[in-house]
Amino acid sequence: MFRRYAGPFFFYVTATAIAVIVMIPFFWMISTSLKSKGALTALPIEWIPKKISFEGYRKVFDVFPFARTILNSAFVSVMTTVVRLAAAAMAAYAFAKMRFRGREVLFAAVLATMMIPQQVTFIPLFLVMKELQLINTFTGLIAPSIFNAFAIFMLRQHMRTVNDAYLDAAVMDGASHRTIFVRLMIPLSAPILATLAVIAFMDAWNDYLWPLVMLTDPNKMTLPLALSKLSGQYATDYNTLMAGSLISIVPIVAVFSPHSNISKPACRWAE
């Protein structure tokens, strides 16, 4: 009896201990954001504030257009996600289900771009955006997300698993490639699209270098740029820094939370 339950018992105890250790910095961030400036240096350390203060949260919105940066980041992240998934899904469908000369060579070239560090492309991209007069615009910030080799690869591999009999049935019903793509491949790819949407949103929300290169107008700055300026101006106001950081992770937590159950929609040709 002991041997039967000893393994699971020690596993859950160890997992719980690791989870507590991992959560300590997060708990400390919440605690610090709710302290007044005087309580930050109090000894012994107050893990739970004796007096809750929202001074840090008030200061974040008073000294910097923080609400504006949140809206900017939300707009850029959502549009980047939509553009990336739409372009990747169409390219993946062509690579997976459409036969044309040079398909495998072109796909290999797409995969090869994954070996190029993103930082290497900043100067060429900046020069292109400058010629197109897209510097300091959201369009220039979002445009490079049209091409994403990783999203194309993941969707192409998934679409290849879809039985060609479904496509043949759709063609016999008179469906075009557009109809097959919208009514068959997209519904069947919903789980992988949801996964890529989370990844794309997180990448865009946390992106710092490309917005730093493209944006100069304070009213168009994204949240990572605002946090960077906040840490420079208020390096010793830890309650303000922690309040801003805590606000910045709320959308990511909301996106990751299991708030919806994504199931495979019914499709007439896939029955």
Other C-beta atoms closer than 10 Å to the C-beta of 173 total 11
Q: What is the pLDDT of residues 22-58, one digit of tens each?
A: 888 888 888 888 877 666 666 667 777 777 878 778 8
Give the per-residue pLDDT at 32: 81
Asked whether the predicted pLDDT for residue 269 surpasses 50, the reply is: no
Q: Is the pTM of this model over 0.85?
A: no
pLDDT higher than threshold 70 for residue 10: yes
Per-residue pLDDT reduced to its tens digit, 154-164: 999 999 998 88
pLDDT of residue 112: 92
Mean pLDDT of the chain: 83
If you average pLDDT over residues 128-146, what whole number do you get? 90
Domain ranges of the chain: 2-59, 65-270
Task: Please tell us whether the domain made up of 65-270 is placed in CATH 1.10.3720.10.
Answer: yes
| Cβ–Cβ under 8 Å, residues 269 and 71 | no
pLDDT band at 236 (very low <50, low <70, confident <90, very high): low
Q: According to the model, what pLDDT value does residue 118 have?
A: 82
3-state secondary structure of 234: coil
Q: In angstroms, rounded to a whole number, what is the distance separating the alpha carbons of residues 142 and 83? A: 8
Q: How confident is the model at residue 204 (pLDDT cuts 50, 70, 90)?
A: very high
66 with 226: CB under 8 angstroms?
yes
Instruction: Of 210, 208, 205, give the one whose Cα is nearest residue 252.
Output: 205
